[in-house]
Amino acid sequence: MELFIAYFIRASIYLFVFGLGYALLLRRNIFPSFNRFYILGSGIASLVLPLISGVSFTFVHSISKPGAVTLPEIIVTASEGYNQTTGKLSHILIEIDFLNIALLLINISFLLVLSVQLIQIFLIIMGNQRCEIEGMTLVKLKKEIAPFSFFRWLFITDKVEKTVGFEKVLKHEKAHCTRLHSLDVIVFEILRIVFWFHPVFYYLRSELKTMHEFEADALALKHFNKSDYQKTLLEMTFSGGLIPITNPFNVSLIKKRMLMMNHQKRQKPARNWFKLLILLPFVWVAILVQSCNFDKKETQTEPRPEDIMSTKVDSTGKIKSEMVNPEKEFADAEPIEGDIFTVVQDMPEYPGGPGKMMEFIAKNIIYPPAAREKGIQGRVFINFIVETDGSVSNVKVLRGIGGGCDEEAVRVVSMMSNWKPGQQRGQNVRVSFNIPIKFLLN
């Protein structure tokens, strides 16, 4: 899951850069088609570029005593009914990452909203009278709402059809159809599943809808006198569109649309391409920031306890973070015998995954009676190495709390069965891990 979060962060950076470029260079541009494709390209490129520039960089930490990968924390609790003779725990809690679950549910909810809207449109089409007109399917609505279109379907009421301005509304909505504006809207609704939290996304989406109106007006003006068309816009006082993913006959942007109509003949397309060239350095910087690689070696002694939370592993066994403290450099070098690595191309795996490892520790660890009697509780940080043959060695306490908790944690970790060894460039290597075990009294 955290690989996806890292991907979303990178994608968000790109979207911010593209949005900033649009606001600075293109927002006042009078070429709606150019702006439209720039906005669409920005959204799609923001999803694709992180994959090209490397969404899951593998950094290798080649020093003697590195800060290690931190496994999920295990919480050991002792209830009031704890039996000091048998040392039997009432229950053991394993930390669950509720943030990941929440993010997944939010993404699913936006996907469901899009699905519901598509179903709504289908039901409206099937539940109303339809006829063909100028290559479009006219769906006659009973409810008094604003005219709107969705691909080749034009949704309109009998009242609007009988007005003098109907022909202008028809040409305007047909322009939405021929320019495939509905496809743009669908693409951005899909992008919202990823960028639902990003303010730049909503800014660009609003600008895209504005460009749709500008384009539709420009095409409609080829058939009507500008003043007559503008008069029709002023007379239209419909309510909003029925469904967000459709293209309603928008009157809320009348002032902007009128100004754009008056600037249609003063366009200079060459300037747009020049502005894009100015934007390229912004994109290049974003790529460089995300592609940073460190190529220095450094020898470091015993890791400090405060340096422990350098890297995490989620319940699927994937690396949750590739961040380390500034003094810990990475080196992409050939492994040297005896070196200890933190993150390698193929990380060691416990048989059955991290869940089985935590289950093993939970079943075997005992809250020391002495610690319970003295009211000792806290977090014990254990460091161990997965050797090239998969065995666990060098189990030691980085930071303890006493009362027998340190020794108990070392005992259980030392009992773990062999792991699948980690590999760097096809060679088995030694990899260091940390695991926090929290002893908690009720």
For the chain, the domains span: 2-55+101-285, 69-95+295-441
Amino acid at residue number 15: L
Please state whether beta strands 153-157 and 136-141 pair in parallel, antiparallel, or not at all (unpaired): parallel
**8 A C-beta contact, residue 290 and residue 284:** no
Q: Is the pTM of this model over 0.75?
A: no
Per-residue pLDDT, 30: 75
Q: Which residue has the tokens 């909810």?
A: 109
Burial class (CB in 10 A: 0-12, 13-18, 19+), 139: buried
- Give residue-wise pLDDT tens across range 155-178: 988 887 877 788 888 899 899 999
Phi, psi of 140, rounded to the nearest 5 degrees: -85, 115
Q: Is 340 helix (H, G, I), strand (E, B) or coil?
A: strand
Per-residue pLDDT, 354: 84
Averaged pLDDT of the chain? 77
Task: Determine the Cα–Cα distance for residues 210 and 214; give it in Å rounded to an integer.
Answer: 6
- Please name every residue paired with 88 in a beta bridge, in sequence order, or none if there are none: 83
**8 A C-beta contact, residue 298 and residue 288:** no
- Give residue-wise pLDDT tens across range 99-113: 667 888 898 999 999
Residue 290 has pLDDT above 70, yes or no: no
Which of the two residues, 291 and 385, has the higher pLDDT score? 385
Q: Cβ contacts of residue 209 below 8 Å, gap of 6+?
A: 185, 250
Per-residue pLDDT, 278: 75
Q: Cβ contacts of residue 187 below 8 Å, gap of 6+?
A: 40, 43, 44
Residue 83 has pLDDT above 50, yes or no: no
Integer Rg of the chain from CA: 31
Which of the two residues, 324 and 136, has the higher pLDDT score? 136
